[in-house]
Amino acid sequence: MQNLSATEIIDSVGPLGMAACDYLADAYNRHLNETFVVERKADKSMLTEADTGVHKLLLDGLKQRFPNIPVYSEEGRLSDSHERDNWPWYWLIDPLDGTREFVEKTGEFCINIALMNNGEPWLGFIFLPIEKQAYVGGVEQTPLFAQADLVWGAPALDEADDTVIIVASSRNVEHPRIKKIAQILHQRNNVVQIKVVGSALKYCALLGYKLAIYPRYGSTGHWDTAAGQALVEASGGLVLDMQGERLHYPAEKLINPSFISMSAACVPDQNLLVELFGMTLE
């Protein structure tokens, strides 16, 4: 890399991310009273002009700012994924994470930008276009939060009680395993709340609650999780596969296995991991 510090990278990427927020917010507001034109990609997932437009904005911006760091985007040439093995550093981005939420006009979509080092998340940004907010954190940077002015500070943490928050997607909330997790927590005398959150905003929720877990069953792409993993790990939390291993990003794969993310306050409770997932940490 260009011998840049995390602070220098944040100062450079922050304005680019906010420009992307403005682009998406404008597209979203224009279409609030219209029907979105939606295409289907080869994997049947949704694609809109907003996806491709913000992809180009971010691709051009990152290449201009960091000409020696490759950019790997969900809306780019995914067939070239094997090339990542040869990239000590690269950007892994999801220009519009939550296209379904964008189309369904829930407002729960975001922009994911992760800087990868040797295939692992080193720094992650999540930008919230509607709120004009941003989160960042990574290996050399504790989590930070900013409004549109990009004055960075520590994210607020709700420590009102010991309620365990289960963060889930709308498609996962009725999953039998989610219900089983809630049942086990109730049996442990925990107060439990299930919060349905769209896109990678789930990782922002993990930063906002003292006791929070995000179990994800089913497939996600690397671009869906890398930025959020950088944030959660920077806060002292964990993102583990169902064997209890840290979630990894091998170049020969694009899709993650099922996994569990947890806030820092959950990590010391080894019994919780055993009871919920049958896993122990070495």
Q: Give CA angle at 103 (168, 199), nearest 5°.
A: 25
Per-residue burial over 233-245, b = 16 or more CB atoms within 10 Å of its CB, e = otherwise: bbbebbbbbeebe
pLDDT band at 282 (very low <50, low <70, confident <90, very high): low
Q: Exposed, middle or buried, 196 (CB in 10 Å: 0-12/13-18/19+)?
A: middle
Q: What is the pLDDT of residue 44?
A: 59
Which residues are CB-contacts of 23 (< 8 A; sequence separation ≥ 6)?
50, 53, 54, 57, 129
Q: Confidence band (pLDDT; 50, 70, 90) for 270?
A: confident
C-alpha span between 71 and 54 (Å, rounded): 14
Q: 78: which 2 tokens?
A: 């995914």
For residues 112-129, average pLDDT: 97
Task: Name the strand (E) or helix (H) holding 53.
Answer: helix 49-65
Q: What is the CA radius of gyration of the chain?
A: 18
CA angle at 70 for the pair 220 and 205, rounded to the nearest 5°: 35
Instruction: Output the pLDDT for position 77.
Output: 66
The C-alpha atoms of residue 62 and residue 92 are separated, in whole angstroms, by 11
Residue type, 134: A
Which residue matches tokens 């010391």?
268
pLDDT digits (tens, 9 = 90+) for 9-63: 999 999 999 999 999 999 999 888 777 777 777 665 778 889 999 999 999 999 9
227/135 Cα distance (integer angstroms): 10
Structure tokens at 4: 């840049």
Confidence band (pLDDT; 50, 70, 90) for 278? confident
| Cα gap 220→172, rounded to integer Å | 12
CB 204, CB 237: distance < 8 Å: no
Residue 159, pLDDT score: 66
Q: Which residue did the predictor score with more confidence, 43 or 134?
A: 134
- Give the pLDDT confidence score for residue 160 in this predicted structure: 64
Confidence category of residue 281, pLDDT binned at 50, 70, 90: low
Res 78: pLDDT:
58
Highest mean pLDDT among 38-42, 151-155, 278-282: 151-155
Q: Confidence class of residue 5 from pLDDT cuts 50, 70 and 90?
A: very high
Which of these, 195, 197, 36, 169, lies nearest to 105 by C-alpha position?
Answer: 36
Q: What is the pLDDT of residues 178-237, one digit of tens each?
A: 888 999 899 988 899 999 999 999 999 999 999 999 999 888 999 999 999 999 999 999
Residue 274 has pLDDT above 60, yes or no: yes
The helix/strand/coil state of 15 is helix
The vertex-133 CA angle with 235 and 60, nearest 5°, equals 100
- Give Cα separations from 236 to 9, 186, 280 (angstroms): 21, 25, 17
Between CA 54 and CA 232 the distance in angstroms is 25
pLDDT tens digits for 48-101?
Answer: 889 999 999 999 999 999 999 999 999 886 556 667 888 999 999 999 999 999
pTM value? Answer: 0.93
Q: Which two tokens stand for residue 10?
A: 């944040």
Write the DSSP symbol of residue 116.
Answer: E
pLDDT of residue 171: 73
